Amino acid sequence: MKIQKYIPIFTIILMGCIIIGQNIVFMTGDYRFLRASENPYNTSIYYPGSPYPRVTKDMITVDNSKACIYGNYEWSSFTATGSMFPTLDYGHFAFHKVVSNDTEIYIGDIIAYHSYNITIIHRVIDKGYDNKGLYYITQGDNLKQSDPYKIRQDMIERVAVAIIY
């Protein structure tokens, strides 16, 4: 008899766990630690799946009226498509490093690439090689499926190094 008064509470807790469980995001990637020799920036340990650390402390200055990041960067803003929400959204800004053909792109990096006359900004979730060479697989953080095509190095314009919220 006493257990019946706890059934509504148990049901609410169970439903809360189910809702929370559905909102957990699992990232794919190679989650191994890199040795210090594999990290040219000698910063904290890099976890593949998160953006590669491209800006070091000595590249940043901050004083009372401004903050500066030194390097070859472009400033950009974003269109509200929702594909990278909540990481990127309308009103956010970023510094992007201009990519050359020898720029290393890592799983976890947020890249801007050109496809069908538009620029798309998505995260690199995988990379591989085929008969045409190196390619990347990208996906918006808020999307359930990866982009339907392989991204080649010559399609990549920029890689994000800092996001301003």
For the chain, domain boundaries: 49-164
Q: How many CB atoms lie within 10 A of CB 83?
A: 19
Topology classification of domain 49-164: Umud Fragment, subunit A (2.10.109)
Where do the DSSP E strands lie in the chain? 60-62, 67-69, 73-77, 93-98, 110-115, 118-130, 133-139, 151-152, 156-164
Cα separation, 29 vs 130, whole angstroms: 19
Q: How confident is the model at residue 148 (pLDDT cuts 50, 70, 90)?
A: very high
Q: How do residues 10-19 score in pLDDT, each as one tens digit?
A: 444 434 433 3
Query: Is the pLDDT confidence value at 31 over 50?
Result: no
CA distances in angstroms from 163 to 6, 14, 77, 88, 111, listed in the order given: 47, 37, 10, 8, 12
Specify whether the CB–CB gap between 105 and 152 falls below 8 A: no
Phi, psi of 21 (to 5 degrees): -60, -35
Residue 142 · residue 84 · CB < 8 Å: yes
82-126 pLDDT, tens digit each:
999 888 888 888 888 888 877 789 999 999 999 888 889 999 999
* Residue 46 DSSP label: P
User: Residue 70: its pLDDT value, please?
Assistant: 85
